[in-house]
Structure 1
């Protein structure tokens, strides 16, 4: 599955414990990453400052569903069950 451009669920729903430019302590679950622009695209995509966990995320139907809204719900549920 290819990432749906403009979704941004993976930049909002999960917690990220590694530093992110502008968020030196990472980000809590449910908080929008400061590197997510108004179009829900990562401003540091492909750059070395991007956390490894972000680059390792592989979109799949089980996690991302069929819509951006489903992705946010599914990733939030996954975060809550593993957090």
Structure 2
């Protein structure tokens, strides 16, 4: 399976410590990435300026589960567990 279009959970729940265009210090956990558009799609997808950590993140059934709400909950739990 591939990423669910319009999910965006991986662009909200985890912290990202590398620079993101418009967010030079990265982003804290739970903060919506500035590059996530109103349809919850990454505006940098396929762009060389997309952070490496974002390029490496891919759909994983264990993390993304069956819907966006579950993905947000699971990713938030994992973020809290890895602090």
Q: When the two structures are superposed, what TM-score results if normalisation uses the length of structure 2?
A: 0.98
Alignment RMSD (CA, Å): 0.5
Q: Residue 70 of structure 1 corresponds to which residue in structure 2? A: 70
Q: Residue 39 of structure 2 corresponds to which residue in structure 1? A: 39
Q: Between Structure 1 and Structure 2, how many residues are aligned?
A: 83
Q: Residue 6 of structure 1 corresponds to which residue in structure 2? A: 6
Matches of 2:81 and 2:51 in 1, distance apart? 22
Q: Mind listing any 5+ residue stretches in structure 1 that lack a counterpart?
A: none
User: Hey, which bits of structure 1, 4+ residues long, moved more than 2 A?
Assistant: none
Q: When the two structures are superposed, what TM-score results if normalisation uses the length of structure 1?
A: 0.98
Q: Mind listing any 5+ residue stretches in structure 2 that lack a counterpart?
A: none
